[in-house]
Amino acid sequence: MPDAAAAGSAASFGTRLRSAMQKHGQLCVGIDPHPALLESWGLNDDADGLERFSLTVLEAVGEGVAALKPQVALFERHGSRGLAALEKLLAAAAAAEVLTIADAKRGDIGSTMAAYAHAWLADGSPLAADAVTLSPYLGYESLRPALDLAAGTGRGVFVLALTSNPEGASVQHAGGADSVARRIVEAASADNAAADRDGTLGSVGLVVGATVADAPAQLGLDLAALNGPVLAPGLGAQGATGADLRRTFGRAYGNVLATSSREILRAGPDPQGLRSAVESTLEMLAD
């Protein structure tokens, strides 16, 4: 049985993600064990509840979607036992060959950034996922330890670029035609262009909210030129539809990995309910 900490592969993350999207569609299911969801599932808000919740989602829908995205903060709130539950989820997903994206949003400088990179991207780490989300707001190049380690282990990263929270615009839109968001997109595009790719999707992705509407066009963001995956949270409970995604992402839509969490998770704990919610979401994305 494969070890989650040895998930690195000769095939790049972009290659593996493209294959999963072609097989299963453009859906990533978030594993977000909010207290209210745990309660609605009849589970306790503790580490045991987290573990049962997470493994139920994996077993019910993991092999029918392109990726799973555990929200790290909701495991961290339970301390070491919560992180142990996350480790078990990552190991089980790796054994089932289900791609995982650790939604950790890490970002720092120097040796601290290198330590974060090792935790989430290094072979041998019990927290290693197939990809991790990163925050670039200490400067895109501050992420270099993670970018380089991901490339070396066959993993990927998703860099926050354009989020849908109201406060995000005060930073991400700053600079007008030379906005912060545009610089992030261009830097990620350059990394994908420089990589020795095998003719498929790059492994440096971006996070762009599914509900940002026409902001990419207004800021002049060329997301198609990224040649990498775009993680788009906000499908379902936050209001975005498949038609919204097509309008927002245009030529880049084929590289979009749409994320839905609460809309699908509310259909649990019945495995068939979860699978039906996934099928309905995939149909919406295909329309």
Q: Which residues are catalytic?
A: 105
Q: How far apart are CA 138 and CA 140, in angstroms?
A: 7
Question: C-alpha angle 263/212/132, rounded to 5°?
Answer: 65
Sign of CA dihedral 68, 69, 72, 75: negative
Sign of CA dihedral 49, 81, 6, 146: positive
What angle in degrees, to the nearest 10, is found between the helix axes of 47-61 and 79-95? 20
48-75: buried (b, 16+ CB within 10 Å) or exposed (e) per residue? ebbbbbbbbbbebbbebbbbbbbbbebb
Q: In whole angstroms, how large is the CA radius of gyration of the chain?
A: 18
Q: Which of 277, 281, 260, 259 is nearest to 269 (CA)?
A: 277
Q: How far apart are CA 197 and CA 127, in angstroms?
A: 26
